[in-house]
A and B are shown apart, each in its own frame.
Chain A
Amino acid sequence: MNNSTNSTMSRVEKTLARRYRAEKRFRVYGLLSILFGLACLAILFTDIISKGHSAFLQTRIQLTVELDPEELEIDDPTDPDQIRGGYYQGVIRDALAERFPEVDGRSAKRALNALVSDGAVYQLQDELRDDPALLGQEVSLWLLADDDVDTYVKSRREGQAFAGMLGEDQVQWIESLIASDDLRTQLNTTFFTASDSREPEQAGIAGAALGSLLTLLVTLVLSFPIGVAAAIYLEEYAPKNRVTELIEVNINNLAAVPSIIFGLLGLAIFINWFGMPRSVPLVGGLVLTLMTLPTIIISSRAAIKSVPPSIREAALGIGASRMQMVLHHVLPLAMPGMLTGTIIGMAQALGETAPLLMIGMVAFIVDLPAGVTDPATVLPVQIFLWSDSPERAFVERTSAAIMVLLAFLILMNTLAIWLRKRLERRW
C-alpha cells in the first residue's frame, strides 16, 4: 500500500515540473499578445499625435490696418450688404506694403500679399460688423497667416527642414515679422468652427463632425427601435421553425457583408429608385442603419436570452401577459446588453467610410449642414479627403481629424460602459 503510494507520488512529481513549465509558457504567450497589442496602439497614437498636435495651433500675423471707407467702398458700416461687399483685400495689401515699404515690383508684391491668408478678409468683415465705429480708424489686428507660413513657422520651431513653397524673400519677411514679435501661434479655433476648405488654414472639421452627428442620429433613431423590436419578436414570439432559422442565418450573414455592398444598395434603392438627394445625412443614415441592424439584433437577442427564465416564469405565473412580461421584466434586464450592442454598432457606423462614398457623401462641402437633407460629409470621409490633398498643412489636419474621430469613439465607448454599469441589475 505504502509502496504504491510512493510510486504514484514519484510519478506525479516527475510530470509536475513539466506541467509548471507549460503553464508558465502559456502565461507568457498571453502576456506577449497583450504587449504586442499595446505596442501597436502606442505606435499608432504616437504617430497620429506627433503628426496632428500642431494642427491645433495656428500662425497669425499682426498688421496695422487702416479701415479706409474709400478703399473699402463702404460708407454705411451698419448695412450688412455693404459689409459683405467690402474690398478688404485692398486694405490688407496697403497694411502689408506699409509694414514692408522696401518691397517693390509686381511679383514681389504678390509674394508679400501671399503671406496673409485669403481668409483674413472675413476676419476684417467680422470686426467691422461687430463694431461699425472702427470704420475710418487704424486697428492693429492679428490676421490669419497663409498655410505655407504656418508650416514654415512650425517646422522652424521643431528644428525640421522646411519643404514648402516659400521664396527666399518670403522667408526673410517672415523672419523679420518674428523678430519684431508681429508673428505668433495661437489656438486654432478655425479647425473646430469651420467646414472644409481648399485652403488648409481655413479648413475645419465642424462640418464633418456635424454631418457625422446627423447621420448617426438618423441611424440611431431607425436602427435601435427596429433592431430591438426584431430581437424581441425573434426571441419571445417567433415559433422555432425553418422560416425563423432561415431568418436567423440571414441576419448573421448580413453582419458579415462588406459595407460597400450596403452603399451600392443604398445608391440603387434610396437614390436611384426613391429619388432621394445625394450626399445627405438622411441617405447616409439609412445605409448605415442597414449595416448596423444585424449587429444590434444579434446583441439584443443575446441580451434577451441571458435574462433568466425564472423571471419570465415568475411574471407569467402571476398572470402577466406576454407583453407585460417583456416590457416589465425582460427588457429592463436586457437593456444594458442591448445598449452596449447599439453603441458598438454606432461606433462602427461612425467609422464607416466605404458605403458613404457610394452615396456621394464624399463631396467637397463648404457649408455647415443645417438638417438631414442638406449635403454633408462625415468625419472618416473628411479624413480620406484631406489625406488625398497635396498641401503640406493638410497632413497635420488629417492626423488632427483622426484624433477627433478617436476622441468621439472613446467617448461613445465610455458611454457604453457607463450605461451598462448604471443599468445593470443583479438577480
Chain B
Amino acid sequence: MSMNEQYASAVGGANELKEGRSMEAYTDLAGTDHAEVSKDRTREKTVGKPLLESAKMSTRNVKVFYDDKQVLFDVNLDIGANEVIAMIGPSGCGKSTFLRCLNRMNDTIDSCRVEGDLTLDGQNIYDPKLDVVPLRARVGMVFQKPNPFPKSIYDNVAYGPRIHGLVDHRAELDEVVETSLKRAGLWEEVKDRLHQPGTGLSGGQQQRLCIARTIAVSPEVILMDEPCSALDPIATARIEELIAELSENFTIAIVTHSMQQAARVSSRTAYFHLGKLIEVNDTEVVFTNPQHKLTEAYITGRFG
C-alpha cells in the first residue's frame, strides 16, 4: 500500500468518527500502536529542527500534568530571538498549555504541574526563587478573547508601565502610551478618544489595544494564544500585519487554529499532537514538505 492510499483509507473512515477516535486512528497511522505510545511516549522523537544554536527561550523535557492526567510529553523546543514561531495542532493537543508554560500563566491553575527545564536567556523560569512578576513583564501575553480592562483606552495601555514603575512622570507615560498605540496600529483610530472606555471599541480594535497594552512594558517575548479566533477576516488581517511588524523587535510565539495564518505570519512552525511535539521546521518546509505523516495529514486538512 502506498502512503497516499494509507491516508485515504484511514481518512475515509476517520471522518465519520468523533474527534478523539479519529486521533487514535491517526496515531495508528503514524506507525505506532496507540497503547504502546501511552506506555512509552519518549520513544518518539520530534522530527525536523526543534533546537537552535542560539535560543531566546528553550524548553527541555517539558511535561505538564493536570492532577494525574499528563497533557504534555517531553516537549523539547527552542524559540529563537526575533522569530515568529507558530504552534498548530488539533484541539486539545496541548499547544495552548505549552504556551502558557512560557510565562508561567499555568501557575494560576491549582491542579496544574509543570516539569522539565524552561529557560529564558539561559535562566530557569521555573526556579522557585524566580519572581513571576518580572518574568511576565519580559514575556507578555495576548489572549484568545480580547480582554481590555473596563477602564479608559489610555489607562489600559498605561497600566503596565504604571505598576512596573517604568515611567517617572506624566509626559513620559503619555509618550509610552502613544508609541505603544502607534506600534499596535491603533493610534490613528483612538487618538481623539483616549479617555473613553476601552471596552467600547470593536473586537479587532480591542485586540490591538491588548497588544498595545502588552508592548507598553517592552517585553522581550510576546505569547499570543489564538489572538484572531474571535475576530472577523479584516480585523484578522490587521493583526497579522501587525505581527509581521512587531517581529522586528519582539520574539513572538503564536498559537493558532488557522493553518493559513501560521503559514502567513510565522517563520517556524511547530506541530503538536496529543500532547507531543511532532514536528518543528521552517514554516515553508512544514507546509510544503512535511516530514511526519501526522503533520501532513493535519495540514492537508484530513483532521483537526
Does A46 interact with chain B (Cβ within 8 Å)? no
Q: Are B110 and A239 in contact (CB-based, < 8 A)?
A: yes
A311 at the interface (CB under 8 A from B): yes
The answer to whether the Cβ of B214 comes within 8 Å of any Cβ in the partner chain is yes
Residues from 277 to 334 in A contacting B, C-beta threshold 8 Å: 308, 310-321, 324, 328-329, 333
Q: Find the B residue at minimum CB distance from A314.
A: B147
B298 in contact (CB, < 8 A): no
For A310, the chain B residues whose CB sits under 8 A away are: 143, 145, 147
CA distance A240 to B110 in the complex (A): 8
Chain A, residue nearest B159 (CB): A318
B47 is an interface residue with CB less than 8 A from chain A: no
Contact B163 A314 (CB under 8 A): no
Q: Which of A239, A313, A321 contacts B133 (CB 8 A)?
A: A321
Interface residues of A (CB under 8 A from B): 239-240, 308, 310-321, 324, 328-329, 333, 425-427
Interface code B211-228, partner A: CB below 8 Å = 1, 0 otherwise? 001100100000000000
Q: How far is the CA of A426 from the CA of B105 in the complex (A)?
A: 25
Q: How far is the CA of A310 from the CA of B210 in the complex (A)?
A: 12
B141 within 8 A of partner (CB): yes
A320 to B140, CA, bound (A): 11
Q: Is the CB of B217 within 8 A of A319?
A: yes
Would you give 24 A-B contacts (Cβ < 8 Å), ordered by A? A239-B110, A240-B110, A310-B145, A311-B149, A312-B108, A314-B147, A315-B159, A317-B105, A317-B214, A318-B136, A318-B159, A318-B163, A318-B213, A318-B217, A319-B133, A319-B136, A319-B217, A320-B133, A320-B159, A320-B163, A321-B133, A324-B163, A329-B149, A426-B150
Q: Is B295 in contact with chain A by the CB < 8 A criterion?
A: no
Give 15 A-B pairs besides A316-B108, A317-B103, A324-B163 with Cβ atoms closer than 8 angstroms: A308-B147, A310-B143, A310-B145, A312-B108, A313-B108, A313-B147, A316-B136, A317-B140, A318-B136, A318-B159, A318-B163, A318-B213, A318-B214, A320-B133, A328-B163
CB <8 Å contact, A333 and B150: yes
Contact with A along B113-147 (1 / 0, CB 8 A): 00000000000000000000111110011010101
- Is A313's CB under 8 angstroms from B143's CB? yes
* Cα of A319 to Cα of B218 in the assembled complex, Å: 12
A318 to B134, CA, bound (A): 9
B199 at the interface (CB under 8 A from A): yes
Question: Which of B105, B110, B136, B214 gathers the greatest number of chain A CB atoms within 10 Å?
Answer: B136
Give CA–CA (A308, B147) in the complex, Å: 9
Q: Are B160 and A319 in contact (CB under 8 A)?
A: yes
B290 at the interface (CB under 8 A from A): no
Min CB distance B114 to A, Å, is 16
For residue B148, CB closer than 8 A to chain A, the reply is yes
Q: With A and B bound together, what is the CA distance between A316 and B143 in angstroms? A: 12
Closest A residue to B198 by beta carbon equals A427
When distances are taken between beta carbons in the complex, the residues of chain A under 8 Å from B160 are 318-319
Bound CA span A256–B133, Å: 42
A321 to B148, CA, bound (A): 18
Total B residues in contact with A, Cβ cutoff 8 Å: 26
Which residue, A240, A333, A425, has most C-beta atoms of chain B within 10 A? A425
Bound CA–CA A426/B145 (angstroms): 16
With A318-B159, A319-B136, A427-B199 as known contacts, state yes or no: A313 contacts B105, CB within 8 Å.
yes
Q: Which residues of A contact B159 (CB under 8 A)?
A: 315, 318, 320, 328
Q: Which residues of A contact B136 (CB under 8 A)?
A: 316-319
Nearest A residue to B135 via CB reads: A319
User: Cβ of B210 and Cβ of A316 under 8 Å apart?
Assistant: no
B164 adjacent to chain A (CB < 8 Å): yes
Q: How far is the CA of A318 from the CA of B155 in the complex (A)?
A: 13
Q: B218 to chain A: closest CB distance in Å?
A: 11
Q: A319-B160, A426-B150, A427-B150 are in contact. Are A314 and B134 (CB under 8 A)?
A: no
Cβ contact of B105, chosen from A308, A316, A329, cutoff 8 A: A316
Among all A-B residue pairs, the 10 with the closest Cβ atoms:
A310-B147, A319-B137, A317-B141, A319-B136, A314-B147, A425-B150, A427-B150, A318-B160, A319-B133, A321-B133
Select from chain A the residue with minimum beta-carbon distance to B111: A240
User: CA of A96 to CA of B134 in the docked complex: distance in angstroms?
Assistant: 89
Closest-CB distance, B67 to chain A (whole angstroms): 12
Complex CA distance for A124 and B213, rounded to whole angstroms: 74
Chain A residues whose C-beta falls within 8 Å of the C-beta of B149 in the assembled complex: 311, 314-315, 329
A314 touches B217 (CB 8 A): no
A425–B143 CA distance with the chains assembled, in angstroms: 21
Q: How far is the CA of A240 from the CA of B108 in the complex (A)?
A: 13
* Min CB gap A40→B, angstroms: 41
A426 touches B199 (CB 8 A): yes
Q: How far is the CB of A425 from chain B (nearest CB, A)?
A: 4
Smallest CB separation, B209 vs chain A (Å): 11
Is B163 touching A319 in the complex (CB atoms < 8 A)?
yes
A263 CB to closest chain B CB (Å) equals: 40
Taking CB as reference atom, which chain A residue is nearest B156? A314
Q: Out of B108, B133, B164, B210, which one reaches A314, CB within 8 Å?
A: B210
CB distance from A348 to the nearest CB of B (A): 31
